[in-house]
């Protein structure tokens, strides 16, 4: 399945992107100015070449998706590393990790890499991920260590927190930096 036809000119690409992005984002993001901003940012991705060949797997990038279990360990949703492509099951929906992997490959700074997504919707940093305390810490830790050895090494760690912390009655700004620092250290 292809996202777009290969023989579109730039104007046709823009029109197709406008239609797709508007239809995807109108349901969840409401205000037209938000939709327009999202659309414009995706157009920039295309202009920088990050959407070129998005229908084809990356040549050096792999991906995988781990869903943590409360009792420790994780479910390997992808069944191991998969070629990175938008349709890979490297997350129930493929998000910013797809563009990160595409950018990393286009920069040609590494020859082979894997983007491992470890996620659980509705989770909170301290209660769920904090070292030796969080409900999913054991799963995160075991997933990280399961991929070392055999010439593999970690070169980076990216944390993306959703909006769960924003629902607190207290100001999460007072604890968030400390919790993030503790997680990364």
Measured from the Cβ of residue 100, the count of other Cβ atoms closer than 10 Å reads: 16
pLDDT at 82: 86
Answer yes or no: are the C-beta atoms of 115 and 61 closer than 8 Å.
yes
pLDDT at 104: 86
In whole angstroms, give the CA distance from residue 32 to residue 116: 34
pLDDT at 64: 86
Nearest to 122 by CA among 135, 141, 140: 135
Q: What is the 3-state secondary structure (H, E, C) of 119-175?
A: CCCCCCHHHHHCCCCCCCHHHHHHHHHHCCECCECCCCCCCCCCCHHHHCCCCCHHH
In whole angstroms, give the CA distance from residue 118 to residue 114: 12
For residue 19 the two structure tokens come to 């239609």
Q: Whole-prediction pTM value?
A: 0.67
> Directed axis angle between helix 32-47 and helix 10-29, to 10°?
140
pLDDT at 4: 52
Q: Which residues lie across from 65 on neighbouring strands? A: 117
Alpha-carbon torsion (121, 42, 86, 28), positive or negative:
positive
Nearest to 154 by CA among 123, 110, 121: 110
pLDDT at 93: 59
Contacts of 89 (CB under 8 A, 6+ apart): 65, 77, 78, 82
Full pLDDT tens readout for the chain, 185 residues: 345 555 667 677 667 766 766 665 555 556 777 777 777 877 787 777 777 777 788 888 888 888 888 777 788 888 888 888 877 777 655 677 888 888 888 887 777 888 888 888 888 888 888 898 888 888 888 887 777 766 777 777 787 776 766 676 666 677 878 888 888 88
Measured from the Cβ of residue 121, the count of other Cβ atoms closer than 10 Å reads: 8
Per-domain boundaries in the chain: 1-54, 56-184
């Amino acid at each position: 399945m292809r996202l777009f036809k290969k023989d579109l000119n730039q104007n046709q690409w823009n029109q197709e992107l406008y239609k797709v992005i508007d239809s995807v984002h109108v349901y969840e993001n409401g205000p037209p100015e938000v939709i327009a901003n999202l659309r414009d940012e995706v157009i920039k991705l295309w202009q920088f070449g990050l959407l070129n060949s998005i229908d084809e797997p990356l040549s050096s990038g792999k991906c995988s998706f781990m869903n943590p279990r409360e009792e420790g360990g994780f479910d390997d949703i992808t069944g191991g590393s998969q070629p990175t492509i938008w349709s890979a099951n490297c997350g129930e929906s493929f998000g910013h990790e797809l563009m990160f992997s595409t950018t990393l490959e286009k920069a040609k700074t590494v020859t082979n890499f894997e983007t491992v997504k470890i996620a659980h919707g509705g989770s909170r940093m301290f209660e769920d991920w904090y070292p030796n305390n969080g409900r999913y810490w054991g799963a995160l830790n075991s997933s990280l260590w399961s991929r070392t050895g055999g010439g593999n090494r970690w070169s980076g760690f990216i944390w993306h927190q959703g909006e769960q912390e924003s629902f607190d009655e207290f100001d999460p700004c007072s604890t968030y930096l400390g919790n993030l620092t503790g997680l990364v250290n």
